[in-house]
Each structure stands twice: as C-alpha cells, then as structure tokens.
Amino acid sequence: MYACNSQKGVIIRVSHFLTTFVENFDIFIDAAFITLKLAFYSVTFALVIGLVIAMLKISRIKPLTWISDLYIWIIRGTPLVVQVFILYYGLTNFFLLSAFWSVSIGLAVHIGAYIAEVIRGTIQSIDKGQFEAGRSLGMNTFMTYRKIIIPQAFRRAIPPLANQFIITLKDSAIASFIGVEELFGVATAYGSNDFDFMTYYLISAVYYLVIVYIFTFIVNKLEKKLSAHD
C-alpha cells in the first residue's frame, strides 16, 4: 500500500511539473532569450576588456603590467556577486542604467579577467618567428600584432572563449538578485506566487541544461574541427 501511494505521489508530481512546464512555456522562453542576451553582451564587452588587459600584461612597460596584475588580482580575489552589486549600485549613482545593462557590464568586468588570461596565453603561444616575420616585412609592433599575432591567437582562443560563454550563461543567474527577469529570476518570481519554488526551479534547470548542452555540443565540434585543421 505504501509503495502504491508513493508511486501515485511521484506520478502526481511529474504530471504537475509537465503541466506547469507547458503552461509557462512562453514565459520561460522569453526569460531564456534574456539569459542568452546577458551572456552575449557580457562576453562581447569582456572580449574588449580581456584584450586590453592581456596586452597590458605582456607589455614591457612595468606600470602597465602592474595595472593588469592588480585588476586580475582584485577580480579573482572577490566574489562575483560582490562585484556585480558594487558596480550596479555604483554605476547607477552616476548614470541612468537599467538593471540589465548594469549586470552586463558587471559580468563583463568579472569575465574580462579570465578572458585576459586566455588571450595572454594564446598570444604567448604564437611562435616568436611570426613576430620577426612581421618586422621583416616592415610592420611596426602594433601592425604586427594586429595583422599577424592577434588573428592567430584568437583562432586558438575560440574553444576556451566558447567555454567561457557557457560559464557566463550560468553565472548570469546572479542578475535575478537585482530584478532582471532571466531564467532564475522568473523561476523565483513565479515560485513565490504559490510557494511552489521547487517546480519552477526545476523548469529553469531544464532550460539551462538544454542551452548548455547545445553550446557544449557546438564547442566540442569546433574543437575537433580546429584540431583536425591543425
């Protein structure tokens, strides 16, 4: 009897989950797009930050190297949530920014430190002969980096950068803490309506899993293609 009741309970819970999933499909799809936009804009801004910091770090000018080291040390030594909150409340004191853009910038500042290390590593992995070849063609340092070194470095950095996008996608859930209606934020809001948090959190987890699986599949295919090309 107990086993029968337990099975019925599981069936009821699964049925409730599926019903809630279908009924709120449009809402969570919209939230999923917001999550994707957050990740896209954050990584785009972070690429610019990361490239600048990486160039400072490999610079022979010591003060520039110190600036990059200080930035990376601060970012790696403090929690993401603290950084986003400081930037959000700090920026909104001086500029009229929406929560979405504030979080995008906050995430970009955080991710930029890790992307900087990726770009620095790939730049330094390029054979020094490539730099010498550029100089022999009459290019100055800036042109050599722009025309020869950085394009090759970015090609090698594509797989780790794609993985960083996936990490950012999951980290974007922190945006819910300041009112952005991404996946986790929507799950929290709807769960608080009837205190059925578990169902809505599970729904958001399904969306995260599907999105991450798709991008992981793309990244794996990309890595195999680049490895075969090499």
In tens digits, the chain (230 residues) has pLDDT values of 444 555 665 677 778 788 888 888 899 999 999 999 999 999 999 999 998 998 888 888 888 899 999 999 999 888 888 888 888 887 777 777 788 888 888 899 999 999 998 888 887 777 777 777 777 777 777 777 777 777 777 777 787 888 888 888 888 888 888 888 899 999 999 988 888 889 899 999 999 999 999 888 888 887 777 665 55
By the 8 A CB rule, do 50 and 115 touch? Answer: yes
What pTM does this model have? 0.82
pLDDT digits over 157-205, tens only? 787 888 888 888 888 888 888 888 899 999 999 988 888 889 899 999 9
By the 8 A CB rule, do 110 and 175 touch? Answer: no
- pLDDT for the residue numbered 228: 59
Largest Cα span, the chain: 86
By the 8 A CB rule, do 182 and 38 touch? Answer: yes
Q: Which residue ranges make up each domain of the chain?
A: 36-229
Spatial CA neighbour of 206 closest among 21, 40, 59, 30 = 21
**Domain 36-229 belongs to what architecture?**
Orthogonal Bundle (1.10)
- pLDDT for the residue numbered 26: 92
- pLDDT for the residue numbered 145: 76
Distances (CA, A) of 49 to 41, 118, 119, 148, 191: 12, 12, 11, 20, 37
Who's near 91: CB < 8 A, 6+ residues apart?
97, 102, 105
CB atoms within 10 A of CB 214: 11
